[in-house]
Every structure is written in C-alpha cells, then in structure tokens.
Structure 1
Amino acid sequence: LTQLLGITDIDLHIDEVTGEDKTVDVVVDIFNLVNSGGTKLSKGDLALAKICVEWADARDYMKQALAGWSKAEYRFSLDWLLRSVNSVVTGEAKFLYLHDKNAAQIQKGLDTAIKHIDTCLNMISGRLGLDHDQVFFGRFGIPVLVHYLDRRNGLMDQKERDKLLFWFVQAGMWGRFSGSTESYIDQDLAALQGEDGGLDKLLEQLRLWHGGLRAEPGHFTGWSLGARFYPVLYLLTRMGEARDWGTGLPLKTSLLGRMSKLEVHHIFPKAQLYAKKYLRAEVNALANFCFLTKDTNLNISDRLPEEYFSEIEKAHPGALESQWIPTDPELRKIENFGRFLDARKELLAKELNKQMEGLLHGDQRWLSGSVRVPEASDKVLGGITSAEEEDLLDDIRVWMQDKDLSQGLLSYDFADPITGEQKAVFDLAWPTGIQEELSQPVAVLLNEDNETLAIASRAGFRCFTSPDAFKQYVSEEILGMSMAV
C-alpha cells in the first residue's frame, strides 16, 4: 500500500507546448509524433474534440444527423459533415478556422448546416433523381451548396435553384472534387464571397478549370458501375422519365413493392456477349446499361434484344426510345454490338445536353467552349461489374458500420489531382485512411487485374482482394485484436 501511495509523490515532467503558432495542423503533427505507436489523430478529430470540450454532446448530435441520412440511403462521414459546418461558420474548408469558435457558434452552425443539407438532398433527389449513395457523385460539392444557401438565407427561385444544381452536376461529372478536395472547396467558397462573388463566378471558375461543359458521345465510353457517368445515366433515367419495359410506367422513386426496385439491366446480356468473346469492358460498357424494375429485369433474363425488343415495342410503344435505344433493327443483332454502343452514346449525349439546357433555362453560355473528349486510349480501369461484387462490398460496409468505423467510399473515383481526369475506379476505398487523413489509404479491389492493383499501389493504397483479408487487417491493425478468418 505504501508503494502504491508513493506513486502520488512522483514528479512527472510535463512539457507544455503552447502559443498562437500552434495551429490545428501543428498540434496534429505533434500528437502523432509523440503517439506514433497509438491511434492516429486527424485534423477533423482534433477540431471535433475541441468542440466536444465545450459541447459534450456534439459528436452524438452529429451522428444522429448522419444516421438520419443513412436511413435515406445517403452515407456520409463526420469529417464530411464538419466541412459543411465549417463552410457555414467560417466560410472556409480548412478545419483550423474553427479553432477560435465557441460552442454556441458551432451548435448554431451545425443546426444551420443540417437544415441546408436536407434542402440540398431534397433538391438533388427531387430535381435530379440522385436518390441514393451509389449515384451520389460530387458529395464534396455539398459544403459549397450549403454555404451558398446560407448566404441566400435558403431563398431561391426555380431558375436560381436549377442553375445551382447545374453546377453540382457538372462538378460531379468532371471530377471537380476527385483530386485536391480541400483546396477546390476553398476555391469555390471564395468564388461565392465578396461583392463580385456569386453563382456566375462559381460557374466561370468551373469552366476555366475544365473547359466546355457540353457532353459528347465519347464521355459515355466508361464501363462498370464505377464509371463517372454511371450516375449521369441514372440522372437521365429519372429526369427524362424513362419508362420501364415491363410495365410501360415512368421509373419514378414512388414505385412501390420489392419487385419495383430499380436494377441495372445489361441490354445485351452478359452471358451471350462473353460467349462471343467480347471483353469485360465491352460487356459492362455504360452504353449497355439501362435501369429497369427488378421484375422486368428477371423476365427479360438473358435474351438478346433481337428477340425481346419487338415484344416491348408491341406492348409499350415508345418505351425503348424513352431509354435512348437506337431504332435501327440491325443494331439489335449481337454481331453489331459495337455499333449499337456507338449509336446509343450519341443519343445519351444529346439527352444529357438537353437536360442541362433545361437546368439553365435557356442561358446556354455556360455550355460553350472547347470540350475535351476522352481518347480510346484513355481507358479507366477497375470498377464494380456485378451484383455479386456489390453485395460483397455492401456486406463490408455494414461490418465496418457495426465496428463504428468509416464505411468507405463505394466506387471511388481515382483521378488526376490537378485535372480531375478519371484514371481508375476502386471498388471500395478509404482514400485518407480508415483513421482519416493519417493512416494509410486502403482499397478493396475484387476481381481486378494487375494493372488496376498497380495503380492503387503506386498511389499509396494498401490493397485487399478479398473481404476476409480486409476484415483481418481492420481487426488486427485498426481495432488491435486478432480474428480467425
């Protein structure tokens, strides 16, 4: 007992590191240097920890908001939400600007951010049809939208709302936030500020960065569910009131029943194409996808368009055209599959430009300018190619959620950090690490070729090719416990 009580008499040296120069970045670096063997700290963690000192329930309050959006099939992280809070409270993206804000300011900013995020999601879902996480590209454009709504006190007419959504879609299509996320958010927030700031300046900045904003057929050359234009195809299905081929009804979000859930349908069936020696990228080409109800998808099965298109035309005239299917009967033959893809890409690009013009209400100047069309050699590697892969990845995300860890980004858009040009799609990724911003980037890559694995590895990602291997890594190295696989 004497020895135990003697511990209280030990004089431990405490080296206090203080000063105005100790920014969030500096403190995080010091903490991680001292605590190199323990859990890493991110800038978002430190900002949130400081907030929780004054407002103990802040983290739980934020998690409640995230849980609400998750029920609506939008999955976001604490860091992502904090970016939006930051854009309201400080007008900046970097967390260091939250350092001198008190609990009352943060709480007010959080309530405001949540309200504006709800508005954004309602606009994006209702007007653009992007109603779940898989098709929700450009999520880091939300802090910019939130800031804009806050400056406008949430008041917009139809034209202004649509113009803002035009910017959101274009930013997502061209990968505005696929590279240096924080710096681009800062640039876009700055474009909204000052006497000359506003939506026009935001759009002009996007056009100067990317070039012309009009779509060309070549932009629909991608493949897999991770193609950057996959959400665009879904958007067109919703905005253009594409019709189901089994019922003839528009594919609206209000469709009820388990068998009415939308599924990706291969217009030319996979089995038939593989039997003819078509490559994986051709079989899963974006132009070979459309969306149908589950019931219709099952009924069509693996029949060729040459057989089932005539049935649809007879039962539901115009339903094929509503999904941008070329009318030439010759293109329904499997030997003309390549020509079918080219013809459909033309129709998809035309429809996309029509919908974008609709969002601009005739103000087409933003669509002008030279457009860079991907070359045939600009192959984007990787991506989810089957429902089976998607189910495995969803299981991983649920498992991570149960461990109270980040679920990662499905179909992560790996792009050039400067140009935003898409280079590859990683099935499931944590680009800033499972312990955000500090632990090693991680990617789960199922059934991918060596070239895709090499791209991810060169970019610093630790790659896993099976769910079991990934779970073992998380259990042993992140959670610090062993797991029998």
Structure 2
Amino acid sequence: MHISQILDKVDSGDIALPEFQRGYVWTRDQVRGFFQSLYRGYPIGGFLTWSTKAENADIRGEKPTQDGTIHLLLDGQQRVTTLYGVTRGEPPRFFEGNTSTLTGLHFNLQTEVFEFYAPAKMKDNPVWVDVTALFQGGLGSQLLAVTQLAAGDAELQASYIERLNRITQIKDRNVHIDEVTGDDKTIDVVVEIFNRVNSGGTKLSKGDLALAAICAAWPEARPTMNQALSTWSDAGFDFKLDWLLRNVNAVLTGEAQFSKLADVPVSAFQTGLAETIDAISYLLNVLGGRLGLDHGRVLNGRGAFPVMSRLLHHHGGTFPDAMTRDRLFYWYIHSFLWGRHTGATETALNQDLQAVDEGGVDGLIDVLRRNRGGHLVVRPDDFIGSSMGSRFYPLLYMLTRVYGAQDFVSGVPLRDGMLGRLSSLQVHHIFPKARLYEHGYSRAEVNAVANFCFLTQDTNLRVGAKKPIEYLAEIENRMPGALASQWIPMDRELWQIENYPDFLAARRELLAQAANEFLQTLHDGPSPMELMPSATALIPKQPSPSDGSEDHETDIPGFTALLAALEEAGLAKPELDSEVCDPRTGAAIVVAAAYWPQGLQEEVGMPVVLAPDTTKEEQAALEASDYRVFHSADSLRRFIDNLRSEQLTG
C-alpha cells in the first residue's frame, strides 16, 4: 500500500491507534533520521494492524463513524505519526506527545540533509526548503526559489528539482502491511502480540494492560484520567497515569495488584475513578494547608497516596476528625522519610492497605514501626544527605512552613506564593557556595541539606556570597530571633568557614529536635481542624522555591551545554538533584545531579544518572541496579552526540 493511502486512511478513521498504545516518543533526531532514510530509499520496515469490528473498537482520539472493519496499528505508530505530522502539517487525531517534534523539518538543497528550523542559518535562505510546505504545496511551489537559487545554471536547477521531487515521491512509496484478524484475537491476545513485535522497544506495563481492558469497555477512561492529571499539573503536581490507576485500584479493591481490576464492573470503575480524583485533590489541599507541602518539588511519598485514598474511601471522602488527619500525616511523613513505598511497591502497599482496612491509622503506624525495628525517630545523622533530592529536603521545607520560620531581612514568616516584587521563596545556602568552594569543600558538602534554608528572593540577593560570620551577625543584631527560627546555631564560632563541618553537625541536631517535636505533635493530636478547601477545587498553582538549576554550571562544568543538547535533540528533561534508589529494596543509593528515570528518550532505554561524585560503593550499587552512570556533563553530552549520530545514520 502506498504511504499516501495509509495517511488517507488515518484521515478517514479506517486506520487508528488502539487505546492501550503509549503516546508518541520519537525525538527530532529520529524524525530527521527517518526522513533521511526515506529520501535515500533505505528500507523502513512494514506495519502491523489489528482488524476488528468498528463498533467494538477501542481507539485513541475520535471514534469511527463508519460501520464494518477498522484497522488498529500494532506496529508502526511512530513512523505513521511522523509521516502524517510532517506531510500534513499537524499531528493525527490519535496523537499524544510533543508536537514540536513534528514541526519545522527543513531540507538543504545543496548538502541533501534534513534539519529542524534554526533561524540563524535558515531564515530567508533559499537553500533550506520547508519539507511540510513542499508536501502541501507540491513541487510547483518551490520552482521560483529553485530558479533564483540556481542563477541560470540549468544543470544545477535540474539537480535541485530532482532532489525535491524525490522528497515528494516519498508518499508514493509502497510499504507492506500485515494484519491480525479473527474472532479469537481478544484484547489480551492482541496485547501479547503487541509486546512481542515491540520487544526492542517499550513493553506495556501491568498498568497499561489493566487500562487496556478497562478502555475496551469504557473508551473514555483514559481521557478522563488524563484530564485529572492535567488539572493537577496546572496546580504544580505532576503524576503518571499508572500512579492514578494505582490509587483507583486501591480505592475499589483494597489491593495493590492491577489484575484485581479485571473483576470490577465498568460502572463501579467510573464511580471509583471520580471518587479517587476527588480524594487526591482533597489530600493535596490538606497537605498544603497542614504541612506546607504545596508544590510537586516537596511532595515526597507519592507511593503512599493509594493508602491515604483508601482511608478517605472508608470515611466518605474526608477526614472524620483532626486526630485521624494528623496521625495519618505522622505515618505519611515517616513513610517517605524511610522509603516505605520506593522498593517492592505492591508488597508494601498490600501490607498497608490491609492494615488500614483492619486497624485504620493506628494499624498503619504499627506496621511501619515494626518495619523500622520499633522506632520512628529522626536522628541528626539523617540530615547528612546532600542536595534537594534528599528525602530530608521536603522535611526541611515542611518545618520551615509549619513553624513559621522568618525571613532574615523582613522577619516575615515564610510561605510559598508570597506577594510582591522579589518576594518568591528561594533556597539559600547559609554558607555561600562560592566561599565553600574557595576553601576546597566538595559538592556534596556544599549542598548539604543542613546548609539550606529558605529566604525571599530579595533577601537572597542581598546576602549574596557574603561571609557567614559577617552577614549572620548583622541579621541577628537587626532582626533578633530570625536566625533561631531557621535553626541556625547561635555559637558565632561556628559561623567561621573553617568551622563549617561543626556548623553542619550543630544544625543537624537542631533540625532533628524540631522534626521530632512536630512529628510527636501530629502523633499525639488532635490539632484544631483548619477550614479545608473543597475536594475538587485545587489551590491555585504557586511558584515553587527556586531549585538552583541555574547554579549547576558552577558545580558541574558543561551542565548548561548539556541541557541545551538535550533540548535540541528533543530528549527528556532530567530530574535535578534527585534521589536514586535501589529498585528492589527502595534504599537510597545517591542523590544525582541529574536523573532520567525512564531513559534519555522518554520511556525508552535504561535509566541514566549523572553523579559527579560517587564512592566505590555507590558506583557498584548503581551498576548493580542497571543504571547507566556518567560522572561529568561532558561525558554524557558526548554520549548524546553519539546517540544522535547513530539515529541519523542507522
């Protein structure tokens, strides 16, 4: 079948995408490489479709209006989407992904290479031809430009026309299509076939399989869930589809395994999904109001949400009283501090779901206490971690909020979303980074959690890189109590650069004491019940404290260039200062400067870690957990350049 016929069938709805397929994941380099192969006449492989009755088809996007048979793409989504997006100038109706990957492809008439639009070298330059405009306007739309470019050279003009014609004829190329047909081809069988033919790519997860079965009976399931995810994202919280489905599963079945959803009727799933969405919104609002955890950067312990959603389910969607709320949050904080749900997710979740069903909040606390060897106490050494990826960074932010820590200059209690110019919160290094690097301290020492506090942007700018002994003394004289409210040791000898390790030790003691006092308050409850926002009306998104990503170039040479290379290639954005854990045990291995948990290309390839300073033990643990580790931004950038080169020539 001609490529043009395939694209026409996409337009008519005769070729569509099954609901269980993931979205578009190709990068710009893969798009360029694909068109380079098409232009050179290289093999591009065939396609595989599943022929099924249109009235029973569970497809992505608009539903078919025709009767009869519809063909669902099992193998070829990325290629068909790329062909459609570049030739039509817009993505197909089933598209889910980054549209910029498909826009701006240009062809150089002289070098015969494809590149994406770069104004500096392509604007008003007739050598570069817009590929989408060529497909839409035809060869005739480019003849005037070719004539002017060739400047009367008939042979060169003919050569340019032949090259453009070769591009337009891509749509006339024949490709082979295999079909999966027959009444015996159930959704389970087809998903198995899909996983087999995509063995080199990303297989469907257990959540994908469960969602595929649900969508077969209720096609609106995925769009409804995506809408909820979008609403939370607009409020500053980014969650995954699997995570939401896990919450729904817990609410409906009280179990962690997705397979349990197979026995849930569609009507029950619809009701349970609506209840779960409301419960999560309610939890986000209450966590922000009670604990100050009001943006995604400090919302650790996401794996605990299914348990909290289940508890709300038992109480009609809200906390019955302040005691229940505070004791649940006591459990929640300890669960993320000790990595309760970062390892064998289903095992821990099943234990906790059973505990909450049988013993409520007290049952949860008992299970966690036994898991921790009988104690739930924060010790000073727990704050030894470095960077904002540490589990104890959210705890520091929470303490700042719940205790009303004061800004150093204004003395105003700090909160997120403060109004006024230069009033947004920023992470502040108490001992400035520049001063510490001058004295030979390592990156991990400089970015120790115990060296962080939160200030307004204005105060942060005023402090700058001043010596602690100077600016801390000035603050204490002008604004007594502000330093103590941020757990700054008041022994002025500790403010000397040479005494920095002792300063960290003393501050860890103060932070641990404050943490245990607040956690005990939650445990003992009750606290006065604040007025809580409704379950469905999320608190508007607030700007989160600056994460310091603009400072990574100081810590890691070449980091800015690395981020630029990632953006140019259309690769995934990393999580900065992110804790990397052993996937089997959930134990923290290291806090990475940058981390790609789903690979450099979203959901394709092994997880990638950029960790400049690792011990032999950390390196061994990362390798044993199948992480690909880089120790400098330059080495990772060279790897990316090689990867891009392979995609273009492969």
Shorter-chain TM range is: 0.7 to 0.9
Task: Map 1:180-259 onto structure 2 (within 5 A).
Answer: 180-193=344-357, 196-211=358-373, 212-257=375-420, 259=422
Within a 5 Å distance, the mapping from 1:331-350 to structure 2 comes to 331-350=494-513
Displacement of 1:275 in angstroms is 1.2
Pick from 63, 74, 77 the counterpart of residue 240 of structure 2. 77
For the 8 Å contact 1:224–1:284, the answer to whether it is kept is: yes
Q: Does 1:360 align with 2:526?
A: no
Structure 2 Cα separation of the partners of residues 172 and 473 of structure 1: 38
Q: 1:415 to 1:407 in 2, by over 3 A?
A: same
Give yes or no for the alignment of 1:177 onto 2:341: yes
Counterpart in the other structure of 2:287: 124
Q: Is the 8 A contact 1:442 1:462 kept in 2?
A: yes
State the shift of 1:315 in Å.
2.3
Q: Distance in 1 between matches of 2:562 and 2:264?
A: 38
Within a 5 Å distance, the mapping from 1:257-296 to structure 2 comes to: 257=420, 259-296=422-459
Q: Distance in 2 between matches of 1:262 and 1:127?
A: 19
Alignment of structure 1 residues 106-145 onto 2, 5 Å: 106-145=269-308
Q: Which residue of 2 aligns with 1:313?
A: 476
User: Contact conserved, 2:326 with 2:525, CA < 8 A, in 1?
Assistant: no
2:259: which partner in 1?
A: 96
Q: Measure, in 1, the Cα distance between the counterparts of 2:191 and 2:643.
A: 23
Confirm or deny that 1:300 pairs with 2:463.
yes
Are 1:159 and 2:323 matched, yes or no?
yes
Distance 2:249 2:562 in 1: 30
CA contact under 8 A between 1:135 and 1:234: conserved in structure 2?
A: yes
Contact 2:589 2:622 survives alignment (8 Å) = no
Cα 1:17–1:275, aligned 2, differ >3 Å: closer, same or farther? Answer: farther
- Give the secondary-structure state (helix, strand or coil) at the position aligned to 2:422: helix
Q: CA deviation at 1:257?
A: 3.5
Report if the CA contact (8 A) 1:427-1:443 is conserved. Answer: no
Contact kept, 8 Å, 1:217 with 1:348, in 2: the verdict is: yes
| Aligned residue identity for 2:294 | D
Aligned residues: 445
Structure 2 Cα separation of the partners of residues 134 and 206 of structure 1: 24
What is the distance in 1 between the residues matched to 2:455 and 2:561? 22
Higher-Rg structure is 2
Q: How do 1:421-436 and structure 2 match up within 5 A?
A: 421-429=587-595, 431=597
Does the Cα contact within 8 Å between 2:562 and 2:637 map onto a contact in 1? no
Q: TM-score, normalised by structure 1?
A: 0.81
Structure 1 position 67, deviation (Å): 1.2
Distance in 2 (CA, whole Å) between partners of 1:463 and 1:281 is: 17
Distance 1:96 1:475, change over 3 A: farther
Superposition deviation, residue 439 in structure 1: 5.2
Q: 1:85 Cα shift?
A: 0.8
Amino acid at match of 1:284: N
Aligned mates of 1:407, 1:98 — CA distance in 2: 33
Q: Matched residues in 1 for 2:219 and 2:562: separation?
A: 32
Does structure 2 conserve the Cα–Cα contact (< 8 Å) formed by 1:51 and 1:102? no
* CA deviation map 1:64-84 (0-9, x unaligned): 111111112111111111111
* Matching residue's letter, 1:460: D
Please say which of residues 385-394 and 141-150 is displaced more in the overlay.
Answer: 385-394
Q: Distance in 1 between matches of 2:433 and 2:341?
A: 33
1:198, CA displacement in angstroms? 1.6
* Cα pair 1:426 1:443 within 8 Å, conserved: no
1:137 aligned counterpart, secondary structure = coil
Deviation at 1:360, TM superposition (A): 1.5
Query: Structure 1 stretch 115-124 or stretch 49-58: which is displaced more?
Result: 49-58
- Which SS does the other structure have where 1:192 is aligned? helix
Distance 1:14 1:27 in 2: 10
Task: Structure 1: state its 5+ residue gaps.
Answer: 364-383
Note the aligned Cα RMSD (angstroms): 3.7
Q: 1:339 to 1:426 in 2, by over 3 A?
A: closer
Cα displacement (A) at 1:59: 1.4
- Residue identity matched to 2:240: S
1:137 Cα deviation after fit: 0.9
Q: Retained in 2: the 8 A contact 1:86–1:92?
A: yes
Does structure 2 conserve the Cα–Cα contact (< 8 Å) formed by 1:175 and 1:420?
A: yes
Normalised to the residue count of structure 2, the TM-score between the two structures is 0.61
> 601, 620, 624: which is aligned to 1:458?
624
Counterpart residue number, 1:443: 608
Q: Are the structure 2 counterparts of residues 282 and 57 from structure 1 closer, same or farther at C-alpha, using a change threshold of 3 Å?
A: same
1:312 alignment partner, SS class: helix
Secondary structure of 1:320's aligned partner: helix
Task: Give SS of 2:387's match.
Answer: coil
Distance 1:263 1:254, change over 3 A: closer
CA 226–254 in structure 1, closer or farther in 2 if over 3 Å, else same: closer
Aligned residue for 2:385, secondary structure, equals coil
C-alpha distance after superposition, 1:36-94 (max 9, x if no partner) = 24552121112222222222222121111111111121111111111111111111111
- Using a 3 Å threshold, how does the CA distance of structure 1 residues 80 and 175 change in structure 2: closer, same or farther? same
* Secondary structure of 2:359's aligned partner: coil
Structure-2 change in CA distance of 1:411 and 1:84 (3 Å): farther
- Report the Cα offset of residue 208 of structure 1: 0.8
Q: Distance in 2 between matches of 1:331 and 1:239?
A: 26
Residue among 208, 223, 228 paired with 1:45: 208
CA contact (8 A) 1:287 1:341 kept: yes
CA separation in 1, counterparts of 2:549 and 2:601?
Answer: 29
Report deviation, 1:386. 5.2
How far the C-alpha of 1:456 sits from its partner, in A, is 2.9
Which residue of structure 2 lines up, in the alignment, with residue 369 of structure 1? none
SS in 2 for 1:292: strand
Residue type of the partner of 1:176? R
Distance 1:277 1:432 in 2: 35
On the 8 A contact 1:210/1:419 being kept in 2, the answer is no
Equivalents in 1 of 2:181, 2:284: separation in Å? 48
Deviation of 1:103 after TM superposition, in Å, equals 2.5
Confirm whether residue 59 of structure 1 aligns to residue 225 of structure 2: no
| Cα distance change, pair 313–103 in 1 and its aligned pair in 2 (3 A) | same
Cα offsets for 1:417-445 (capped at 9, x unmatched): 67643221234545466899x85431241
Match of 1:372 in 2: none
Q: Is the 8 A contact 1:28 1:42 kept in 2?
A: no
Cα shift readout 1:119-147 (whole Å, capped 9, x = no counterpart) = 11112111111111211111110111001
Which structure 2 residues correspond to residues 9-48 of structure 1 after superposition, within 5 A? 31-37=194-200, 39-48=202-211
Inter-CA distance 388–295: structure 2 relative to 1 (3 Å threshold): same
Q: 1:12 to 1:28 in 2, by over 3 A?
A: closer
Change beyond 3 A, Cα 1:392–1:32? farther
CA shift for structure 1 position 95 = 1.0
Shift of 1:100: 2.8
CA distance in 2, matches of 1:207, 1:226: 25
Aligned counterparts of 1:13 and 1:361: Cα–Cα separation in 2: 62
